[in-house]
Structure 1
């Protein structure tokens, strides 16, 4: 079971890095609006500016959640008592929580930049 937990926690690390990278690219304009990755809501998809503004606002909570996920996963891999399914669920919950928190932050930033939205 230890090997499976290490694999699952390594997947969490990979997911966190991917989410951070995609959000960073969208915030900097190198990931255009698309139907696959990013904060894809009616508000953020309404224009290229809304996409970038929303992702700039989403970057901070995404970055914090991603870093916490990586650190927790590394600690769980390194410390045998933490190498269990609960640690994998904690890592997933932290990453998901940061992602979900980023959505209202993105919406608020877009609305503040363009009051008619």
Structure 2
């Protein structure tokens, strides 16, 4: 059981790194609009500019949730009492929560940019 929890927590760290890296790539323009990765909503997919603006805004909450997720997982791996399914669920909740919070942040930034132009 202990090895399975370490494996699950390590997967969560990998997911946090991957989500953060993909958001960073979309924010700096090296990840184009696509159907697989990034904040893919009607608003963010409406143009290349909207894609970049939205991901630039989404980068901060993504970095925060990714960092918290990775720190929680590494702490849980290091402390035997925290190596349990609840820790894995907490990590997943933080990462998914950060992704969900980044959507309205991205939309607000796109709307603000469209009002300014």
**Separation of aligned partners in 1, 2:67 and 2:96:** 13
Cross-structure match for 1:10: 10
Cross-structure match for 2:67: 67
Cross-structure match for 2:56: 56
Cross-structure match for 2:79: 79
**Separation of aligned partners in 2, 1:115 and 1:85:** 46
The 3-state SS of whatever aligns with 2:32 is: coil
Question: Which stretches in structure 2 are left out of the alignment for 5+ residues?
Answer: none
Q: Between Structure 1 and Structure 2, how many residues are aligned?
A: 116
| CA RMSD, Structure 1 to Structure 2 (Å) | 0.9
TM-score by length of 2: 0.98
Matches within 5 A, 1:1-117: 1-115=1-115
Could you tell me how far 1:115 is from its partner in structure 2? 2.8
Could you tell me how far 1:112 is from its partner in structure 2? 0.3
**Separation of aligned partners in 2, 1:75 and 1:90:** 12
TM-score by length of 1: 0.98
Question: Which stretches in structure 1 are left out of the alignment for 5+ residues?
Answer: none
The 3-state SS of whatever aligns with 1:55 is: helix
**Separation of aligned partners in 1, 2:97 and 2:42:** 21
